[in-house]
Structures are given as structure tokens and as C-alpha cells.
């Protein structure tokens, strides 16, 4: 997983979604220039060989402005405490090349992203958020994302708001080392 400098590496990329293909081919470089989102490529490595990108994600800063009482109780030791907002990073775009689907590339990429934000992030960042295509939400659930809002709030939307708690990843790792 590395930040993209030359977007030509995506010339042969196709994830099967028109909007996402259009973004990576025509808009992602401008988003980077304007400091609106940073795009990362995901490539496969075998011995000294590195593949063309098999997936990409564009990420940007975000904040979660509201958790309900029950979410707060689960997330924070002192569930009564409420902050104005909670720092997060948002997955703005995410796509796996159609030739590599169902090979756990998407899951591995999300794992690399989680790893990045619990080990190398330089500012506070507690959550990863995503406005997931409704039909893809199961993919994110399998990577430990939860729904942020009650389903009726977004029932007419194409996307659903989801989040992942990075503290959970940190605690899982600590437990693994103590075992």
C-alpha cells in the first residue's frame, strides 16, 4: 500500500463501477493537488516483482459528530462522557480491479489501512468511516465496520454511513501479544 504519485499506473484499471473508474482515471490527481484526498494504491509483491495496482482507496479527514448513548457506552470506558466530535479518517473511494475480485484483496487492503492508522498516524484518529454503497455494506461488516445511524434515517439513500473503531484493533493486538 503506497500513496500514488503518478496516476498513469491506473490506465488499465477497472473495478466495474463507472463512478469509481471515472474518479481514478480523471479526478483523483486533482483531488491530490488540491489536498482534498490522498489516493493509495494496493499492489501485489512476489519476490522482486510488483504488480500493477489491484485496488485503490482515496482517503480524507473526517469527524463523527454524534454517537447515541448505547454506542457511547460500548465505545468508551466512561460512556457518559460526550465530546463535540470524534476524529476519523474517511474512505472516500474504494475499488478492487474486477480481475482480482473475491480474492480477499479488498479485505487485505482494509487491514493494511487499519494497520496504517494505528501505527503510523501522526494525529489523533479514532475511527475509519465510509459511506458504503448499500449493496456492499456486508463487505464492510465482514471487516468489523458497524452502522452509524438507525436504518430508517438513511432508508432512501444509495449509501449507508458506517464506522470502524480503531481502538478495538489496538486492544486486539495488545491481547494477542499478552496471550
Ligand X SMILES: CC(C)(COP(=O)(O)OP(=O)(O)OC[C@H]1O[C@@H](n2cnc3c(N)ncnc32)[C@H](O)[C@@H]1OP(=O)(O)O)[C@@H](O)C(=O)NCCC(=O)NCCS
Residues interacting with ligand X, by CB under 6 A? 15-17, 20, 94-96, 101-107, 132-133, 136, 138-139, 142
Chain position carrying cell 465510509: 130
* Least distance between ligand X and beta carbon 138 (Å): 3
Nearer to ligand X, 71 or 137 (CB): 137
Which one, 25 or 72, has the nearer CB to ligand X?
25
**What are φ and ψ of residue 147, in 5° steps?**
-80, 135
Q: Which residue is nearest to ligand X (CB)?
A: 106
56-91 burial by CB neighbour count: b if 16+ within 10 A, else e? bbbbbebbbeebeeebbeebbeeeeeeeeebebbbb
Question: Minimum CB separation from ligand X for residue 65, in Å?
Answer: 21
Which stretches of the chain are DSSP H helices?
A: 18-22, 28-33, 69-75, 105-119, 137-141, 166-178
CB within 8 Å of 124: residues ≥ 6 apart: 87
What distance in Å separates the CA atoms of residue 147 and residue 163, rounded to the nearest whole number?
7
Q: Which is nearer to ligand X, 2 or 141 (CB)?
A: 141
For ligand X, the closer CB: 44 or 136: 136
Smallest separation (angstroms) from ligand X to the CB of 47: 23
Q: How far is the CB of 160 from ligand X (least distance, A)?
A: 9
How near is the Cβ of 154 to ligand X at its closest, in Å?
14
Nearest by Cα to 13 from 29, 24, 27: 24
Cβ closer to ligand X: 98 or 174? 98
**Distance, CA of 94 to CA of 115 (rounded, Å):** 17
Amino acid at each position: 500500500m503506497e500513496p500514488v504519485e503518478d496516476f498513469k499506473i491506473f490506465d488499465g484499471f477497472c473495478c466495474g463501477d463507472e463512478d469509481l473508474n471515472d474518479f481514478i482515471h480523471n479526478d483523483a490527481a486533482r483531488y491530490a493537488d488540491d489536498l482534498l484526498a490522498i489516493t493509495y494504491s494496493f499492489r501485489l509483491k512476489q519476490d522482486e516483482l510488483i504488480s500493477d495496482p489491484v485496488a485503490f482507496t482515496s482517503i480524507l479527514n473526517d469527524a463523527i459528530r454524534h454517537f447515541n448513548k448505547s454506542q457511547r457506552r460500548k465505545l468508551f470506558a466512561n460512556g457518559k462522557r460526550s465530546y463535540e466530535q470524534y476524529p476519523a479518517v474517511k474512505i472516500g473511494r474504494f475499488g478492487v480491479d474486477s480481475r482480482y475480485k473475491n480474492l480477499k484483496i479488498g479485505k487485505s487492503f482494509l487491514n493494511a489501512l487499519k494497520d496504517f492508522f494505528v501505527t503510523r498516524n501522526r494525529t489523533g484518529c479514532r475511527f475509519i468511516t465510509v459511506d458504503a454503497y448499500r449493496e456492499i455494506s456486508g463487505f464492510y461488516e465482514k471487516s468489523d465496520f458497524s452502522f452509524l445511524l438507525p436504518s430508517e434515517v438513511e432508508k432512501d439513500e444509495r449509501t449507508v454511513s458506517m464506522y470502524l473503531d480503531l481502538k478495538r484493533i489496538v486492544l486486539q493486538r495488545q491481547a494477542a501479544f499478552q496471550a
